[in-house]
Amino acid sequence: MESDQSYREAIRSICLRCGFEPVDPWLRERIIYRKGKTEVSSFDFIKRDLEDIERCDILVAYMPRLSAGTCMELFYAKLKGKKTITICKIKDPSPWIIAHSDVIIRDIRDLEKHLK
């Protein structure tokens, strides 16, 4: 998990400017990533993430490094017929990332032109 979560606000702002209503699971799940115990099971938050994907129009995946969770979300979104945009800073991304991304960009600033 990225310690700097500021990218989320940048993505949110771009989505709003382009007329999309962003859903950021981090806002409800950040408690899971804090130190200490939590009452929320992993299966519960994964189920909610998948439900978010089912309701979305577009999945924007931020992948500065390989993330099993983000890869699974990309796969699920494509399985459900969703458009996917991946912001990927990985030099040679996995064929799985490439195959399940409609668009791959390297910089958040390029997101807006792909949402219009």
pLDDT digits (tens, 9 = 90+) for 15-66: 999 999 999 887 766 555 555 555 556 778 789 999 999 999 999 999 999 9
Instruction: Judge whether 20 and 57 are in contact, CB under 8 Å.
Output: yes
> Is there a domain that residue 47 lies in?
yes
**CATH code, domain with 96:** 3.40.50.1220
Tens-digit pLDDT profile for residues 67-113: 999 999 999 999 999 999 999 999 999 999 999 999 999 999 999 99
Q: What's the confidence (pLDDT) of residue 109?
A: 95
Report how many domains make up the chain. 1
Which runs of E-coded beta strand occur in 1-116?
58-63, 83-88, 103-105
The span from the CA of 115 to the CA of 15, in Å, is 7
